[in-house]
């Protein structure tokens, strides 16, 4: 039994969608991956200011950001390695919750230490904005904020806990959102604490 809560039209929240065993499997895969390839440090276009989160990707395309801008590419920006394929549980959550949409092409992994955050932004680097983004949270609880397509519009907040899944699409696909803070010590999943968020996306135009 999975509980589904509509936050607003297009945004659906599934608390503890991944049980502890699955969370541990995904965690172990990510930690071995990070150990092999290393996280990359994204920076803001133009200024080159580092983000407070570190990143990696799974899948044929990965989201990267550096001085030349935001884009999707098949390789790690710091060492040229090809991204690993999607973990089984990530492919499964897409088939279950995004049934009928073309397969995902990218899975961005964000790692937050206790003081990291993510400013309000829109996800608009994908060609096909009709396909929802699916987000999975692991580790410490985070305060997620979601607004409207107007950066200054009203916002609502939601605490995302380890194992929680969010489907973000429909009329909300271009709504501004971000992570205001992490609550340190709220989960035992990650050996060094902090939070990992994975977002699965369709990047190129779906056929038909």
User: What whole-number distance in Å separates Cα of residue 11 and Cα of residue 166?
Assistant: 7
Beta pairing class for 156-160 and 106-112: unpaired
User: Per-residue contact track with Fe ion, 118 to 157, x per CB under 5 A?
Assistant: -----x----------------------------------
With H, G, I as helix, E, B as strand and everything else as coil, classify residue 69. strand
Of residues 93, 97, 166, 200, which one binds ligand MD6 by CB under 6 A?
166
Between 12 and 144, whose beta carbon lies closer to ligand MD6?
A: 144
Least separation in angstroms between residue 80's CB and ligand MD6 is 26
Of 81, 182, 98, the closest CA to residue 140 belongs to 182
Provide the token pair at 96.
């279950």
Provide the token pair at 179.
């992570």
Between 83 and 176, whose beta carbon lies closer to ligand MD6?
A: 176
28 phi/psi in degrees, rounded to 5 = -60, -40
User: Per-residue contact track with ligand MD6, 101 to 140, x per CB under 6 A?
Assistant: ---------x-------x----x---------x-x-----
Provide the token pair at 130.
């009709």
Which parts of this chain interact with Fe ion (CB under 5 A)? 123
Which parts of this chain interact with ligand MD6 (CB under 6 A)? 110, 118, 123, 133, 135, 144, 166, 168, 177, 179, 197, 199
């Amino acid at each position: 039994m999975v509980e589904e809560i509509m936050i607003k039209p297009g945004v659906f929240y599934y608390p503890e969608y991944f049980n502890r065993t699955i969370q541990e499997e995904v965690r172990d895969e990510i930690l071995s991956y990070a150990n092999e390839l290393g996280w990359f440090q994204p920076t803001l276009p133009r200024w080159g200011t580092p983000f407070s989160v570190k990143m990696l990707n799974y899948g044929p395309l990965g989201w990267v950001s550096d001085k030349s801008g935001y884009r999707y590419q098949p390789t790690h920006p710091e060492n040229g390695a090809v991204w690993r394929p999607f973990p089984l549980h990530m492919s499964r959550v897409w088939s279950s919750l995004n049934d009928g949409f073309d397969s995902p092409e990218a899975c961005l992994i964000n790692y937050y230490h206790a003081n990291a955050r993510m400013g309000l932004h829109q996800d608009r680097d994908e060609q096909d904005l009709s396909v929802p983004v699916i987000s999975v949270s692991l580790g410490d609880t985070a305060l997620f904020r979601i607004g409207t397509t107007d950066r200054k519009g009203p916002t609502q907040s939601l605490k995302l806990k380890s194992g929680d899944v969010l489907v973000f699409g429909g009329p909300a696909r271009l709504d501004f959102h971000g992570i205001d803070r992490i609550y340190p010590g709220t989960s035992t999943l990650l050996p060094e604490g902090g939070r990992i968020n994975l977002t699965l996306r369709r990047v190129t135009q779906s056929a038909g």
